[in-house]
Amino acid sequence: MQIKHALPALAVALGTTLAPPAAAADFSLSYLGQQIVPSGTLFSGTTVGGLSSIDYVAAAGRYVAISDDRSGINPARYYELSLNLAQFQRSATPGSAGVTFHATTTILTPGGAAFAANTVDPEGMRYNPATGTLYWSNEGQRSGAGFQNPTVREMTVAGAHLRDFAVPARYNPAGSNAGTAAGDSGIYNNLAFETVALSRDGATLYTATENGLAQDSPPASVLGGSRARILSFNVASGAAGAEYAYDAGPVAIAPNPANGFATNGLTDMVAIGDRQFIAIERSFAVGAITPGTPVTGNTIRLFHVDARNATDVSGLASLAGQAIVPVAKTLLLDLSTLTNDDSSPLALDNIEGITLGPSFGGKDTVILVSDNNFSGTQFTQFVALQVNPVPEPETYAMLLAGLALLRLRAGRR
């Protein structure tokens, strides 16, 4: 089996000002359509929801998506599903006919049992075509209810545990419940391992914290971002490798009231080249209102992330005050700018998963999924984006020459 990871390296999209691009831009992303599965939908004795990752298995023509149910509603699990992109619509009410669930699989503990309630928080997942196995992340926990170390594991497609990857101890929560006291270390609660990404050659696995570790930086707020970490593993040995700093931006829109809940962070990445990724930053704020857009509180942005020139920070217990080079980020698409065919803005839920999808209409696709938090006021949303080539340097030069000629002629008139 082989998963399609055929997109070329990304850089920046062609700017509307027609300024020369900073690096070769291979394509841009545009809105194909969406489908929405209503909250409360049941499948095979489970409540569908909490979909926090998605990965396309090309050989099967299907997807796998993990649920972040902490075994509170049903046992921790993942789903196998298919998406008919021909039925996706650029509509505010697209329906769900293009989404078909085929199977659900319980994720098992190393001892072979289902996880007990509140002992796990599944978030990221990728399929490895070379081994026919799945890698998945458990976010961990830091709260008054207890501390749980974040983990990255491998399992069979039947959900059986195979092994743990060697997560460094600096990620384990220690100190106060909030993580904001002097001397605290490790993950913040609900801001840890949201991500799993597999390199295109299958040799390196990545996870990332949504925000910084307690010893690295405060969580993101309206006033500032947070310095997260991307952590790599050698797939063959399971050993931790290089780490890179990722600067998550500040909360996009202030909450209302001003002291309401607000967050921004790195919720998933998919590998597209040598230490290059498409990453999701999801910002949410209670009562956040953007003029002309639906009030969901979510601002979703996709970035090209390039770690090739970033500092390897794996030797640093803390990033605070360190002179390092973080990964380079280039905005690819702000989904707040997308509209449906009737010009209505695309309402966005809690987008947390991304994968490279199949070819559709002769072009590659990128597929996103939202985690509805099992809330009746939210929705499980699948968004399909189309990959569009942008002008090659020669074409770009011809375009500039043509514009110059038009300006010259206009001046003569």
DSSP string computed for 221-260: -SS--EEEEEEEEETTT--EEEEEEEEEPPPSS--SSTTS
Q: State the pLDDT confidence band at 395, using cuts at 50, 70 and 90.
A: very low
Instruction: Tell the burial category of 17 from Cβ atoms under 10 Å away from its Cβ (0-12, 13-18, 19+).
Output: exposed
* Strand ranges of the sheet holding 328-334, from the earlier edge strand across to the other edge: 262-273, 276-285, 298-306, 328-334
Amino acid symbol at 315:
G
Q: Report yes or no: 215 and 317 within 8 Å, Cβ to Cβ.
A: yes
| pLDDT value for 392 | 54
345 upstream amide cis, omega within 30 of 0 = no
pTM (two decimals): 0.89
Q: Find out if CATH 2.115.10 is the number for domain 27-412.
A: yes
- Domain regions of the chain by residue span: 27-412
Percent of the chain with pLDDT over 70: 88
Give the pLDDT confidence of 369-385 residue by residue, as tens digits.
999 999 999 999 999 99
Answer whether residue 166 shows pLDDT above 50.
yes
Least confident of 36-45, 101-110, 311-320, 390-399: 390-399
